[in-house]
Structure 1
Amino acid sequence: MTVWWNRVNRESLRADVLAGLSGTIILVPQAVAYATIAGLPPEYGLYTAIVPVILAALFGSSWHLVSGPTAALSIVLFATLSPLADPGSAHYVTLAMTLTFLVGILQLAMGLARLGSLVNFISHSVVIGFTAGAGILIAVSQFKNFLGLSIPSKAGFIETLQGVFQNLGDLNPFSVAVGTVTLLAGILTRRYVPQIPFMIAAMLVGSLFAAALTALFGTAASVATVTAIPRSLPPISHPDFSMDTIRQLSTIALAVAMLSLTEALSIARAVALKSGQRIDGNQEFVGQGLANFFGSFFSGYVSSGSFTRSGINYTAGARTPLAAVFSSLFLVLTLLVFAPLVSYLPIASMAALLFMVAYSLIDTHHIKAIAKTSRTESAVLWVTLFATLFLDLEFAIYVGVLLSLIFYIRRTAQPNIRSGMPAPGDDTYHFVPADGKPECPQLKIAFVDGSLYFGAVDHVQQTLQSIDAEQPTQKHVLILASGINFVDVAGAHMFAEEAKRRRAMGGGLYFHRLKAPVVQDLAKGGQLEEIGEENLFEMRQNVMDRLYAKLDPTICRNCPHRVFRQCHGYLPNGEAREESPSEAPTRISA
């Protein structure tokens, strides 16, 4: 709080009040819609946008992040809790509050333990794939409401689609008409009148159209409406602290906690890029943790950062987190005065609004970009998306993270090893890629780009040993080691064994620009003594003069390549080279 408190003045308060009012206008239909997705009574969406929003704003680090109910978390809540209790029932609500409590505890603990970097293990591709899958699930789950069909809420993705197709003959044409008009109103408003909140415009048009149909055709044209919202402040709620319930929800809670933190931090950083603010990930963990922990006692379900409301908050000119606080206070006023009006909203209109929410979750721009740039990231994205559709949602996140880690480990386990050569010129002491040019038949020069840990040892060892099969006379190996950041015990042992093996062959293993911390670790483990400190070369040392003297002059005498500058004047034993026209080098280089 002290980080931004000095920014508060009369001008900032005015800007924050106006930004908060703008956020409240868009919040009401969103909160009701998200609660519907979550399988909770609509008022719980509004409750989640009061206490959790205030706490996340005051104790987080972002000036503009607005928390509250979100589409992705709402679908996760419904998908994970609906098999355990009937959506909307008292037991279901208790489970939702308990899950929120556990999520808050986990987030708070991670924030206090300064584990803010953990969200980096959930890659961008996982988030894109998961949210796209969640968008599809939201759209499919609303088909029955849009068409006026009766399909069990607990039905999964495939079962819901089957139920829709099997019951198409029973669709309600008036429900379809209301939903279609609402959808068109929302799309047209968003496209042609963007200054008007499209969700509110669509909601008003849909409600008025439904009322007109009832006036023209009587009760036969009436469509189901949203349950009335009680005109009251968030009631005190009581999570279930029994060990059976906590055990049942603990696995779900970890996945939901990570997803919630990923959402919040991603949005906070995105807005911070525009505002020039620095985000403290650990502080955001604490803010989100407090929001969910205390929110569970004030009828709030799992909350996180909202991209839409945070974007509106920034665009509307918010200066400090007080804008989110004012938004919540305005929502309290709205809840006490205008709550009964929500009962006039047709469920078909709500389904149309959720179709638009679902569409916004499918980030086609980034999906196409990922497909063009990386096959592995594309695989992560699509596996996560399909796991979201066909597996339990919390496991979809685990699947995506696990696959990302597998690809990462695979990349690090195979460091890039490429041939090198001395840079051209008489006074140069560095090396460049060989790019397919002839190599010395006695000395292999190789860049190793990657750290040597237990997972990479086998790949590097096989590559070094394969030199013997490809060119038996290359008994000397110079490793260009500037790309090796660390070497663990397994890597150090491998280098020591390779050095002994090379010496036994009559050659040697040498290193150029091996980093000081790596050299220190080799010395501590005793491997430096086996490698030989004299075989380590630093930057700007004349490596080739030293190594050329170790080569076999007999092989050099008849070598047609003359790869090194030293090759042209004398043999490794110091003997002057006598050339005949037939012995002229095929390539002259450094």
Structure 2
Amino acid sequence: MKPAKNPGKFLHIPLLQGALPSSPKQIPMEITAGIAFAAFAIPEVMGYTRIAGMPLVTGIYTILLPMLAFAIFGSSRHLVVGADSATAAIIASGLITMAVPESPQYVAYAGMIALIAAILILIAGMLKLGFLADFLSHTVLIGFLSGVGIRISISQLGGMLGIATGLDGTLIHLLSLPSSLLKTLALINVPTLLVSLSVIVVIVLSERIGSKFPGALIAIVGAITASWMFDLSSYGIIILNTIPGGLPHLALPQVTLSDIPKLLNISAACFIIILAQSAATSRAYAMKFSDTFNENSDLIGLGLANAAAGISGTFVVNGSPTKTEMVRSAGGRTQLTQLTTVFIVVIVLMFFTRPFAYLPTAVLSSVVFLIGLRLIDTKGMAALYRQRPVEFNVALITSMTVVVIGVEQGIVISIVLSVIAHLRHSYRPLNLLLVPKQGGAMRTVPLEKGQQAVKGLLIYRFGSNLYFANETRFREEIIALANKDGGLKWFCISATNIEDIDFTSIEALKNVCTQLQQMNITLVLSDVVQPVMNELDRDGITEMIGRDHIFESVQDVLEAYRNLQEE
């Protein structure tokens, strides 16, 4: 079922595109899925909150107003917005040197990061810049998220062992890890370790039973019960203590103007991940269910969701692939599932936060540890290694940058490598020769064969737009092919893949034309699109080549050449 174009509007912004229309038969399933999703999501966001260094209750806030805002203003029927490991790691790595985790100042900074990210996202949505997500390749996302996973998992080892190691995944801590563990082996709190192992066993076994089995929730409820019954804190196990209940207080973060410039780079890094990851997730699930979505409307929804996060005392939210898959597995097919989850979270905040005071912190460390392990995309890395070794190296460099140096630096490297990968494809395009088959259709052959379409005619197809970086390759290949056979009379450039041509390339084309004329070879063009044709007219190349030597197709070139030989 495809969403209605405009279920409703507010200030010209469509509303509830992801929830309406909804079949009456589907509504009970959506409500059931929303209840089940809440059981999965609350323990998970506690883990992400731990990664972000925020007070635990603020994680629950991420599945309140932010999720509500996207359900109302977003267009995707499937994308689930909430706390995410990648953006949580970016916040933590950026703020750790600016404020004490969980302190009021730290929370204020995190809220301001959400507001700045919201402004960037809203600007991108209003300017219809959703296409920018395409420039962060899937390859570097595999490497980036794998690096984040390694870093997160390492950072939780201390909490799982009951020792204060301070591990955060940076190079210094990685190099000191073996010696640190040896020195602190005697400090390991065995009861804490047993709690951690128990949580991991429960979650892993529940996943073996089925994806709809809330292992994290069972582990948390079991740990709270055991802590309450047996006073686990008396065994040296650290517990959370009181978690405030009630709904979040709405206010702007208390941050001075002088602090804002220090938060811009963190906000920009979050913006990039939100842009890329949310668009990729929306696209994947829309394709899976044959639904439509508008990536720019989703940006408006994501921007308003982050604005809601900023004023409700929580941190950046993102389109989460793990939460989206949770909803799909639970049977949810529209944003009505998320609206139900919001209602359940309101009830939890109002009446059920007190039991969390008994929760051992090792439980959350173990949940986060497993979240980190799931982010390490070993299958994706293995597939890249087998199929695209060069792209595997790109993913590996990105991953190691995140682990060794930091998350923000990993973002920068991922953008640079994505651009380099794009330039590499256009700088070294697949250029081929065209020769006719029986029946008149054309087939391609490698340049190395130097095969003419018919005797005296060679058809060369350039595989990319023509610009300053590849014009040398373009010119050298044409001249080399022209020199390969002394019997060449016509050299045809098939421009079917050339949609743009810059000033440098215009000069290169003039040079090619002149050199071919000196070799008594006629240069002809085919399949020239109108924007490129306009450039050729404006720069005098049409006159130089001759308009009668520019053809609509290679078949026209063949026909004209054969007619010339028969005269």
Q: Normalising to structure 1: TM-score of the pair?
A: 0.85
Q: Is 1:303 the counterpart of 2:317 in the alignment?
A: yes
Counterpart of 2:358? 344
Alpha-carbon spacing, 1:532–1:455, altered in 2? closer, same or farther (3 Å)? same
- From 356, 365, 368, the counterpart of 2:382: 368
Aligned residues of 1:512 and 1:536 also touching (Cα < 8 A): yes
Counterpart of 2:339? 325
Q: What is the identity, as a one-letter code, of the residue corresponding to 2:100?
A: D
Q: What is the identity, as a one-letter code, of the residue corresponding to 2:59?
A: G
Question: Which ranges in structure 2 are unaligned for 5 or more consecutive residues?
Answer: 1-14
Counterpart of 1:507? 521
Aligned residues of 1:87 and 1:153 also touching (Cα < 8 A): no
Deviations 1:287-343 (A, max 9, x none): 010011122111120001223332232343335323212211211111121101112
Alpha-carbon spacing, 1:546–1:12, altered in 2? closer, same or farther (3 Å)? closer
CA distance in 1, matches of 2:69, 2:227: 39
Q: What is the identity, as a one-letter code, of the residue corresponding to 1:141?
A: S
Aligned residues of 2:432 and 2:445 also touching (Cα < 8 A): yes
Counterpart of 2:449? 436
Superposed displacement of residue 368, structure 1 = 1.8
Aligned residues of 1:143 and 1:164 also touching (Cα < 8 A): no
Superposed displacement of residue 476, structure 1 = 4.5
Deviations 1:63-101 (A, max 9, x none): 232211112221111111102112122211111111111
CA distance in 2, matches of 1:287, 1:408: 29
Q: Is 1:196 the counterpart of 2:213 in the alignment?
A: yes
Counterpart of 2:195? 178
SS of aligned partner of 1:433: strand
Mapping for residues 312-461 of structure 1, pairs under 5 Å: 312-424=326-438, 428=440, 430=442, 432-433=444-445, 436=449, 444-461=458-475
* Further displaced range: 434-443 or 453-462: 434-443
SS of aligned partner of 2:391: helix
Alpha-carbon spacing, 1:335–1:223, altered in 2? closer, same or farther (3 Å)? same
Aligned residues of 1:493 and 1:527 also touching (Cα < 8 A): no
Superposed displacement of residue 506, structure 1 = 2.4
Aligned residues of 1:22 and 1:312 also touching (Cα < 8 A): no
- From 126, 133, 142, the counterpart of 1:128: 142
Superposed displacement of residue 355, structure 1 = 1.8
Superposed displacement of residue 423, structure 1 = 3.7
CA distance in 1, matches of 2:287, 2:100: 43
SS of aligned partner of 2:510: helix
Q: Is 1:532 the counterpart of 2:546 in the alignment?
A: yes
Q: What is the identity, as a one-letter code, of the residue corresponding to 1:41?
A: P
SS of aligned partner of 1:416: coil
Counterpart of 1:582? none
Superposed displacement of residue 397, structure 1 = 1.5
* Further displaced range: 408-417 or 384-393: 408-417
CA distance in 2, matches of 1:367, 1:432: 32
- From 109, 125, 128, the counterpart of 1:111: 125
Counterpart of 1:269? 283
Superposed displacement of residue 12, structure 1 = 4.6
CA distance in 2, matches of 1:126, 1:431: 34
Aligned residues of 2:227 and 2:358 also touching (Cα < 8 A): no
SS of aligned partner of 1:449: coil
Alpha-carbon spacing, 1:543–1:201, altered in 2? closer, same or farther (3 Å)? same
CA distance in 2, matches of 1:411, 1:86: 45
* Further displaced range: 10-19 or 347-356: 10-19
Q: What is the identity, as a one-letter code, of the residue corresponding to 2:376?
A: I
* Further displaced range: 262-271 or 10-19: 10-19
CA distance in 2, matches of 1:289, 1:444: 54
Q: What is the identity, as a one-letter code, of the residue corresponding to 1:45?
A: G
Q: What is the identity, as a one-letter code, of the residue corresponding to 1:412?
A: S
Alpha-carbon spacing, 1:402–1:363, altered in 2? closer, same or farther (3 Å)? same
Aligned residues of 1:429 and 1:542 also touching (Cα < 8 A): no
Alpha-carbon spacing, 1:153–1:415, altered in 2? closer, same or farther (3 Å)? closer
Aligned residues of 2:432 and 2:444 also touching (Cα < 8 A): no
CA distance in 1, matches of 2:461, 2:169: 56
RMSD, aligned CA: 2.8
CA distance in 1, matches of 2:39, 2:441: 67
- From 44, 50, 53, the counterpart of 1:39: 53
CA distance in 1, matches of 2:336, 2:18: 10
Aligned residues: 548
Counterpart of 2:248? 234
Superposed displacement of residue 474, structure 1 = 4.6
* Further displaced range: 408-417 or 140-149: 408-417
- From 41, 45, 51, the counterpart of 2:65: 51
Moved over 6 A (4+): none
Aligned residues of 1:189 and 1:201 also touching (Cα < 8 A): no
Deviations 1:18-49 (A, max 9, x none): 22211211122112221111111111101121
CA distance in 2, matches of 1:200, 1:83: 33
Superposed displacement of residue 110, structure 1 = 0.6
Counterpart of 1:21? 35
Q: Normalising to structure 2: TM-score of the pair?
A: 0.89
CA distance in 2, matches of 1:191, 1:5: 32
Aligned residues of 2:82 and 2:318 also touching (Cα < 8 A): yes
Mapping for residues 149-298 of structure 1, pairs under 5 Å: 149-152=163-166, 156=170, 158-159=172-173, 162=177, 163-192=180-209, 194-208=211-225, 219=234, 221-298=235-312
Deviations 1:97-141 (A, max 9, x none): 111111111111111111111111111112211111111111111
CA distance in 1, matches of 2:264, 2:204: 40
Counterpart of 2:160? 146
Counterpart of 1:498? 512
Query: Which of these two proteins has the greater Rg computed from alpha carbons?
Result: 1
CA distance in 1, matches of 2:68, 2:557: 64
* Further displaced range: 517-526 or 454-463: 517-526
Deviations 1:369-399 (A, max 9, x none): 2222212321221111111112231221121
Residue identity over aligned pairs, in percent, reads 25
Deviations 1:222-257 (A, max 9, x none): 400124211121123432453321111112211111
Q: What is the identity, as a one-letter code, of the residue corresponding to 1:177?
A: L
CA distance in 2, matches of 1:442, 1:195: 68
CA distance in 2, matches of 1:231, 1:41: 12
Aligned residues of 1:371 and 1:378 also touching (Cα < 8 A): yes
CA distance in 2, matches of 1:44, 1:164: 32
Superposed displacement of residue 169, structure 1 = 2.5
Deviations 1:501-537 (A, max 9, x none): 2223322212233334432331133221012112223
SS of aligned partner of 1:384: helix
